[in-house]
Amino acid sequence: MPPEEREPAAPPRDLEEWRRIWELDQNPPIESHRPGIGWLIVGFKKLLRALVKTPQNELWRRQREYNLALQAHVEKETATLRSLGALPDRVDQLEGPVHSEVVESIRKLAEDLQRTQAELTRDLRQLNEDVQAIREAEEEEFLAFKDEVREFGNKHLEYMESHSERLIVLEGFKDRGLD
């Protein structure tokens, strides 16, 4: 089938396929469907890819690392979910009062976890608001202190100017020998 008639490949659904794609880091092939000048277009596209890709290599490397880390996390959580999904079957195998106690404990733990998560979210939000309020108060106090220092400096300067005239007069008496 000619390249222009091919449908793009669907994204993989399997996590292992995604991992392979990100670990290999392969460029898709550059093709042209134009006869005659196709080789020129392909050459230009390859040159353009090299010019554009080189400055972005570090960004793509970081993105690839992030994607692989995220995928590892998703795989771990998927395995955890699978093992948690198997818990009801395992619990069903237990006999007598142990079964109901385990089910009740798991239910209570899940409720406690949700409640704790909600409380932590609320506390974090409150903490952020408190930190912002403290920063604003500190800024106001700093500005007030700055104004006080400026006012003190101005008063001190006025005092020095008024006394400098007295000192000049006293030095005049001293020069005349009238101390």
Packing angle, helices 38-93 and 15-24, rounded to 10: 140
What average pLDDT does the segment 46-73 reach? Answer: 84
Report pTM: 0.34
User: Which of 72, 98, 102 lies closest to 87, judged by CA?
Assistant: 102
One-letter amino acid identity for 113?
L
Token pair of 45 as six digits: 């596209």
Q: Percentage of the chain with pLDDT > 70?
A: 83
What average pLDDT does the segment 165-169 reach? Answer: 72
Secondary structure element (H or E) that encloses residue 176, with its range: none
Residue 1: pLDDT above 60? no
